Structure 1
Amino acid sequence: MEERNEQVVEEVKEAQVEEAVTTENSEKTVEEKSEAALLQEKVDELQAKLTETEGRTLRLQADFENYKRRVQMDKQAAEKYRAQSLVSDILPALDNFERAMQVEATDEQTKSLLQGMEMVHRQLLEALSKEGVEVIEAVGKQFDPNEHQAIMQVEDNEFESNAVVEEFQKGYKLKDRVIRPSMVKVNQ
Structure 2
Amino acid sequence: MKDEELKQSSEEQGTEETTAGKAEEVKTEPADEKEAEASEAGETSEEADAADDDTEKLKKKYEAEIADWKDKYTRLYAEFDNFRKRTEKEKIQNFDFGARDVIEKLLPVVDNFERALGTVEKEDEEDAFTKGVQGIYKQIQKMFEDLQVKAIKAEGEKFDPSLHNAVMTDTESDVEEDTITQDLQKGYTYKDQVVRHSMVKVKK
Structure 1 residues 78 and 155: CA distance shift in structure 2, 3 A? same
2:26 maps to which residue? none
Matching of residue 123 in structure 1 with residue 147 in structure 2:
no
| Contact preservation (8 Å) 1:132, 1:175 | yes
1:86 maps to which residue? 102
1:144 maps to which residue? 160
Q: Tell me which of 145, 150, 175 is aligned to 2:191.
A: 175
Query: Gaps spanning 5+ residues in structure 2: where?
Result: 1-78
Alignment of 1:1-188 (within 5 A): 73-105=89-121, 111-188=127-204
Q: Which has the higher contact order (CA 8 A, sep 6+)?
A: 1
Secondary structure at 2:118's aligned position in 1? coil
Distance between the aligned counterparts of 2:149 and 2:174, measured in 1?
31
| Contact preservation (8 Å) 2:149, 2:189 | yes
Which protein is richer in helix relative to its size?
2
TM-score by length of 2: 0.53
Secondary structure at 2:156's aligned position in 1? coil
Structure 1 residues 71 and 171: CA distance shift in structure 2, 3 A? same
Structure 1 residues 156 and 106: CA distance shift in structure 2, 3 A? closer
Distance between the aligned counterparts of 1:72 and 1:106, measured in 2?
50
Q: Give the AA of the match of 1:90.
A: L
Distance between the aligned counterparts of 1:186 and 1:109, measured in 2?
33
Q: Where in structure 1 do 4 or more consecutive aligned residues deviate above 6 Å? A: none
| Contact preservation (8 Å) 1:81, 1:174 | no
Larger Rg: 2
Q: Aligned-pair distance for 1:91? A: 0.6
Q: Give the AA of the match of 1:84.
A: R
TM-score by length of 1: 0.57
| Contact preservation (8 Å) 1:166, 1:186 | yes
Distance between the aligned counterparts of 2:173 and 2:113, measured in 1?
33
Distance between the aligned counterparts of 2:178 and 2:124, measured in 1?
44
Q: Aligned-pair distance for 1:104? A: 3.1
Q: Aligned-pair distance for 1:73? A: 4.2
